[in-house]
């Protein structure tokens, strides 16, 4: 077992690092500290206080800095080799699914190894700051638009039957709830089930024969999963990646950061290689409803696998209540 000193509840630093080097390691680990130089010094000082009074923890992996993302789930940063190892308790199917994609497009996140049995994914560590999002920053807004457009342009497009795809989402969602029914309140289960069926019927009403276009989706685009570069935002932490409807990531981003709504529109993101992706007047509403279903499934998968999503009511029910409000606008 390797010993680490806790800097926060979820961040640890290897105790084998000489004490005189610890301030420099923390100061130069950019995802840990602010971009502003003085704030960076202050943050480093606070971490050092926590280092001296923090508890010692032991984990079976050796690295310089560790981010704990759940029970037996870790992100291990090796600063000397500029690598990051993601260890997950659940299957690495999703990481493998996007492996070829990420090898081709290094501007996102280059993966150098996957071990399904050991349940880890090894990638290149990008030492950059997480952005502080500001919709009035023109240069930053341009980078955000480029992020969503690159996802579209550089992804392989899958074409699926509308009814089969929607049915599969509802089936998988209900399956997860059935599996965990002993943990759930019946009113919550009924509420989520009713929402799934109601949204499904709304999507299929009068148009169950149209095609749905799927592209590779990151699934969790937010500042913590973005590294600021001079030319663009680099997306990291692809653990929730999957093929989803082409507007999923953009819609999820806008529900999280509604201030960007006047600058980013659902129809802004296009794949120029697929003419069928051009929007007609009904498409934004259709993709919004698809997003509702896909995001409920994603949240249920997170609830099933990850500690941070263990509160069913907060993570899923409250989100659906928010989506129902959005659908009325």
Confidence label for 102 from pLDDT (cuts 50, 70 and 90): very low
Of 304, 296, 283, nearest to 195 (Cα)? 296
pLDDT at 315: 95
Number of domains, the chain: 2
Six token digits for residue 257 = 């950061």
Shared domain check, 212 and 163: yes
Shared domain check, 168 and 102: no
Of 252, 152, 164, nearest to 211 (Cα)? 164
Residue 108, pLDDT above cutoff 60: no
Tell me the pLDDT of the chain averaged across its residues: 83
Six token digits for residue 63 = 């690295």
Confidence label for 6 from pLDDT (cuts 50, 70 and 90): very high
Q: Give φ, ψ of 92 to 5 degrees.
A: -95, 25
pLDDT at 237: 80
Q: Which of 89, 124, 159 is the last residue of a domain?
A: 124
Under a CB-based contact definition with an 8 Å cutoff, are residues 273 and 153 in contact?
Answer: yes
Q: Which of 90, 124, 158 is the last residue of a domain?
A: 124
**Could you tell me the sign of the dihedral formed by the alpha carbons of 312, 314, 316, 321, in that order?**
positive
pLDDT at 240: 83
Q: Which of 102, 124, 146 is the last residue of a domain?
A: 124
Shared domain check, 173 and 296: yes
Shared domain check, 195 and 115: no
The stretch 194-215 carries a mean pLDDT of 85
Shared domain check, 296 and 267: yes
Q: Residues 50-65: pLDDT tens digits? A: 999 889 989 888 899 9
pLDDT at 329: 66
Rounded Cα distance between 74 and 4, Å, is 13
- Is the residue at 277 inside a domain? yes
Furthest-apart CA pair in the chain: how many Å?
Answer: 69
pLDDT at 82: 85
- Is the residue at 251 inside a domain? yes
Shared domain check, 301 and 201: yes
Q: Residues 278-324: pLDDT tens digits? A: 444 456 777 889 999 999 999 999 998 887 889 999 999 999 999 98
- Is the residue at 132 inside a domain? no
Q: Residues 161-172: pLDDT tens digits? A: 989 999 999 999
- Is the residue at 17 inside a domain? yes
pLDDT at 118: 63
Look at 98 and 323; give whichever has higher pLDDT.
Answer: 323
Q: Residues 118-162: pLDDT tens digits? A: 667 777 788 888 888 888 888 888 888 888 888 877 778 888 998
Shared domain check, 293 and 269: yes
Look at 85 and 266; give whichever has higher pLDDT.
Answer: 85
- pTM of the predicted model as reported, rounded to 2 decimal places: 0.82
- Is the residue at 131 inside a domain? no
- Is the residue at 133 inside a domain? no
Shared domain check, 286 and 152: yes
Q: CATH number, domain at 220?
A: 3.90.1200
Number of helices followed by number of strands (H, E) in the chain: 11, 13
pLDDT at 168: 96
Q: According to the per-residue pLDDT averaged within each range, which of 32-46, 66-80, 89-103 is highest?
A: 32-46
Shared domain check, 307 and 222: yes
- Is the residue at 180 inside a domain? yes
Shared domain check, 81 and 184: no
Percent of the chain at pLDDT > 70 equals 82
pLDDT at 116: 62
Domain carrying residue 50: 2-124
User: Would you list the DSSP string of 79-126?
Assistant: TTTTEEEEE-SS--HHHHHTHHHHHH-TTT--EEEEETTTTEEEEE--
- Is the residue at 298 inside a domain? yes
Shared domain check, 244 and 186: yes
Shared domain check, 76 and 183: no
């Amino acid at each position: 077992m390797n010993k680490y000193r806790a800097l926060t509840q979820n961040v640890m630093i290897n105790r084998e690092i000489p004490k005189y080097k610890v301030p420099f390691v923390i100061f130069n680990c950019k995802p840990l500290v602010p971009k502003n130089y003085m704030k960076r010094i202050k943050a480093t000082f606070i971490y050092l206080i926590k280092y001296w009074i923090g508890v010692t923890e032991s984990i079976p992996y050796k690295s310089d800095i560790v981010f704990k993302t759940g029970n037996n789930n870790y992100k291990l940063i090796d600063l000397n080799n500029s690598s990051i190892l993601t260890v997950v308790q659940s299957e690495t199917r999703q990481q493998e699914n996007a492996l070829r994609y990420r090898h081709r497009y290094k501007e996102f996140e280059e993966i150098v190894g996957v071990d399904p049995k050991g349940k880890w994914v090894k990638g290149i560590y990008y030492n950059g700051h997480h952005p502080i999002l500001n919709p009035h920053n023109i240069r930053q807004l341009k980078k955000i638009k480029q992020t969503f457009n690159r996802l579209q342009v550089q992804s392989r497009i899958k074409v699926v039957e509308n009814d089969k795809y929607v049915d599969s989402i509802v089936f998988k969602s209900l399956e997860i709830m059935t599996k965990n029914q002993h943990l759930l309140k019946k009113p919550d289960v009924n509420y989520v089930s009713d929402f799934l069926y109601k949204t499904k019927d709304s999507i299929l009403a009068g148009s169950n024969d149209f095609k749905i276009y799927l592209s590779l989706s990151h699934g969790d685009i937010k500042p913590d999963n973005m590294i600021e570069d001079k030319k663009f935002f680099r997306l990291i932490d692809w653990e929730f990646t999957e093929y989803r409807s082409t507007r999923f990531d953009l819609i999820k981003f806008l529900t999280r950061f509604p201030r960007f709504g006047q600058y980013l529109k659902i129809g802004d993101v296009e794949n120029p290689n697929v003419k069928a992706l051009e929007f007609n007047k009904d498409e934004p509403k259709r993709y919004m409803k698809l997003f509702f279903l896909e995001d409920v499934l994603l949240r249920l998968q997170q609830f099933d696998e990850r500690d941070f999503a263990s509160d069913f009511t907060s993570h899923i029910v409250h989100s659906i209540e928010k989506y129902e409000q959005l659908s009325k606008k």
